[in-house]
Amino acid sequence: MKIDPRSHLPIYLQIAEGIRAAVAAGVYRPGEALPSLRTMAIQLQVNPNTVQRAYDELDREGLIYCQRGKGLFVAEQGTSAAQASACDTVRKSLEEAVKSARAAGLDPERLRELFEAAVDGASQTRSHQS
């Protein structure tokens, strides 16, 4: 996970996003413990209060849960919740892309071509890797 201190995006949201992505990808699995506040703060080089805020956010979303005295764990439905949220993020960035395409005067047909080329390009790279 990488933090970008220059981004306008609050760091706690960057951390929450990073953990969601890690859960969606199976880096942390349901029932497994997340790194402690201290470990995460030192590893990411950010204030522990900021990590706490990210954990609170994910707790509210039901992605993780807190067990008193034991730490934080990925919830049973964590993986699907993280994937749903990843879906949401992708939709938002697509909407942004569509908005800038419209501002630049691209017609919908051209936009669809671009989108399909991007999807094909990505799946080709994937089959090369496997």
Partner 1 sequence: MSTNTPDGPAIELVGLSKRFGRTLVLDHLSLQIPRGSTFGLLGPNGAGKTTTIKILMGMLAPTAGAARVLGMDALAERLRISQVVGYVPENHHIYRWMRIEEVIGFCRSLYRSWNDETCREMLDLFALDPRKKVKHLSKGMLVKLSLLLAVSHEPEVLVLDEPLAGLDPIAREEFLDGVLRTICERGRTVLFSSHTLDDVRRLADTVGILCNGQLMLHGNLDNLLTTTKRLRATLVDGRRPQALPAGTIYERLDGREWLLTVREFSPEKVEQVRGQSGVEHVEVLDIGLEDLFKDFVKGQRAAK
- In a 13 Å sphere around the CA of 73, the CA atoms on its Cβ side amount to 11
Which C-beta is closer to partner 1: that of 1 or that of 25? 1
Q: Looking at 38, 60, 102, 110, which residue binds partner 1 (CB under 8 A)? A: 38
Which residue number, 24 or 41, has a Cβ lying nearer to partner 1?
Answer: 41
Residue 87 to residue 5: CA distance in whole angstroms: 25
**Using the rule CB under 8 A, which residue among 41, 63, 72, 74 binds partner 1?**
41
Q: Which is nearer to partner 1, 45 or 129 (CB)?
A: 45
Q: How far apart are CA 125 and CA 114, in angstroms?
A: 17
Stretch that binds partner 1, among 17-25, 48-56, 65-73, 78-86 (CB under 8 A): 48-56
- Say how far apart CA 39 and CA 33 lie, in whole Å: 12
